[in-house]
Amino acid sequence: MTITAQQLNRATLARQLLLEREPLGVADGLRHVVALQAQHPASPYLALWNRLTDFDPAELDAAFSARDIVKATLMRTTLHAVHADDYATFHTAMQPTLRAAGLDDRRFTESGLTTKQADALVPDLLEFVSQARTNADIEAWLESSLGVPPKGVWRAFRAFAPLRHAPTGGPWTFGPRPAYIPSGEPPAITDQKTADQHLAKLIQRYLAGFGPASVADMAQFALVQRSRVRTALGALSNELDELAGPAGTVLYDVPYGPRPPAETSAPARLLPMWDSVLLAYDDRSRVIPPEYRKLVIRNNGDVLPTVLVDGYVCGVWRPADSGIEVTAFERLDKGTWAGLATEASALLTLIADREPTVYRRYDRWWAELPSPDARILPG
C-alpha cells in the first residue's frame, strides 16, 4: 500500500485530534495523543484546548495534582506530559538515552563520581524528595552528601532518575522554579534487553498517536539510535502494517490507526509553543513547509506558537494588548481569517484567567519574522 504526503498530514491530524475536537476528559485525551511537550507550563493546557471540546483547565490542574498525568523528562530528554499508565514504560524505554545524557556529560564526569556510585545514591535521593524539593534543596543535599560540586551530578540525576515534577502553583500548575518528587515507580531496570522491550511498546504508542512513520521518524521522536528502533520493529513485525511513503520511504503503522482521505478538510488551529506535531518527526515537512521551518523552530531550540491552516504551519501567533496577533507568512483568504478569529476569541477566554501575556518573553523573535499578512484578532 502507498500513502502520499498529504495523506500522512491528515493521518497525523486525525490521531492528534486536530481535524475535530473530541469530547474526552483530559486524561483520556492525553492518552489518545500519547505525549505533549511540556517545557513551558502553559503548553499542555493550550495543546489540549486545541484538541478537546469543552476543555476545562481546572481538570488538567486536578489531573496533575492527582498524578493521573505525569510531567517528567522523557523522550528527546525533554519535559513531556504523559498519562500515568504510560510513564513507567516510556521511562524504562528511554533509560539508555537518559543515562547517556546525564552520566556521559562532562559536567558529571568532572565531579569524580562514578556511574556505580550514582546508581547507589538513587534510593537516598528518592527518599530525600519524598517531600517536594527544589533544585536548590537537592543541590545542597548532594553537596552535603558527596562533598563535590553538585550541579553536574544533579543534572545527571534529573535526566535519568525516576522523578516527576511536583505541582508548585502558578497559573499552569507548575511555576518557574520546579520541584521534584518520586515518580511512584522503583528505579527502572536499565539493562538493554529490558529497555528494548519497553521501546517496542513505546513505538506502538507512538504509531497510534503519530503514525504512519519511518525508522528515522521514530528515532527522532524518542531520540534513540535507529538500530534500537529496528530491533523494536523486529519484535513487532506481526503487529504492524508496512507502507510505501513519499519518495519510496518505508513507513510503519498500527493497523487500527485512522488514515483519512487526502482531501479531508482541516480547520484552523492556534498551536502552543513546542506542540508535539512539530517535533515528532525526522521529516518535519509533514506539518511544516520547508521554507517556514527555520522561522518557527529557532536555532536555540525555541519552537514558536504556530498557526495551522489546512493542516500546515503558515504563521505564528502571540498575545497582544487588544487580542491575538497573528503573523501569517503568506496571504490568507477571508474565510481563513474568519476561522482564525473564532479560535482567537476562544483562546483569549482561556488565557484571560490564567496568563493573558502567555509566551510574551519570546517576543524578541518577532522582529526577525516576515509578515506579508498580519493582524490583531480581537476577543
Three cell numbers written together for 58: 481546572
Q: Are 74 and 91 in contact (CB under 8 A)?
A: yes
Q: What is the pLDDT of residue 9?
A: 98
Q: What is the pLDDT of residue 189?
A: 65
CA distance 34 to 49: 15
Q: Are 161 and 122 in contact (CB under 8 A)?
A: yes
Q: Are 30 and 80 in contact (CB under 8 A)?
A: no
Q: What is the pLDDT of residue 372?
A: 83
Q: Which of 194, 137, 183, 142 is nearest to 161 (CA)?
A: 183
Phi, psi angle pair for 353, to nearest 5°: -90, 0
DSSP 287-317: TS-GGGHHHHB-TTS-B--EEEETTEEEEEE
Tell me the three state secondary structure of residue 70.
Answer: strand
Three cell numbers written together for 320: 497582544
Three cell numbers written together for 203: 513505538
Q: Is the peptide bond before 255 cis (omega within 30 degrees of 0)?
A: no
* pLDDT tens, residue order, the chain (379 aa): 899 999 999 999 999 999 999 999 999 999 999 999 999 999 999 999 999 999 999 999 999 999 999 999 999 999 999 999 999 999 999 999 999 999 999 999 999 999 999 999 999 999 999 999 999 999 999 999 888 888 889 999 999 999 999 999 989 999 989 999 999 766 666 789 999 999 999 999 999 999 999 999 999 999 999 999 999 999 999 999 999 999 999 999 999 999 999 999 999 999 999 999 999 999 999 999 999 999 999 999 999 999 999 999 999 999 999 999 999 999 999 999 999 999 999 999 999 999 999 999 999 999 989 878 899 998 7
Domains of the chain, residue spans: 1-265, 288-377
What pTM does this model have? 0.96
Three cell numbers written together for 115: 556511574
Tell me the three state secondary structure of residue 134.
Answer: strand
Strand runs labelled E in the chain: 36-37, 69-73, 79-83, 133-134, 163-166, 179-182, 241-244, 250-253, 269-270, 306-309, 312-320, 323-328, 373-377
CA distance 278 to 171: 25
Q: What is the pLDDT of residue 368?
A: 87
Q: Are 222 and 204 in contact (CB under 8 A)?
A: no
Tell me which long-range contacts 328-332 makes (C-beta under 8 A, separation of at least 24). 328/371, 328/372, 328/373, 328/374, 329/292, 329/295, 329/369, 329/370, 329/371, 329/372, 330/372, 330/373, 331/372, 331/373, 332/373
Q: Are 105 and 152 in contact (CB under 8 A)?
A: yes
Q: What angle do CA 84, 88, 94 make, to 5 degrees?
A: 125
Phi, psi angle pair for 277, to nearest 5°: -65, -20
CA distance 14 to 20: 8
DSSP 209-266: HH-SB-HHHHHHHHT--HHHHHHHHHHTTTT-EEEE-GGG-EEEE-TTS----TT---
Q: What is the pLDDT of residue 186?
A: 62
CA distance 84 to 163: 13
Q: Which of 170, 212, 209 is nearest to 57 (CA)?
A: 170
DSSP bridge pairs for 170? none
Q: What is the pLDDT of residue 184?
A: 78
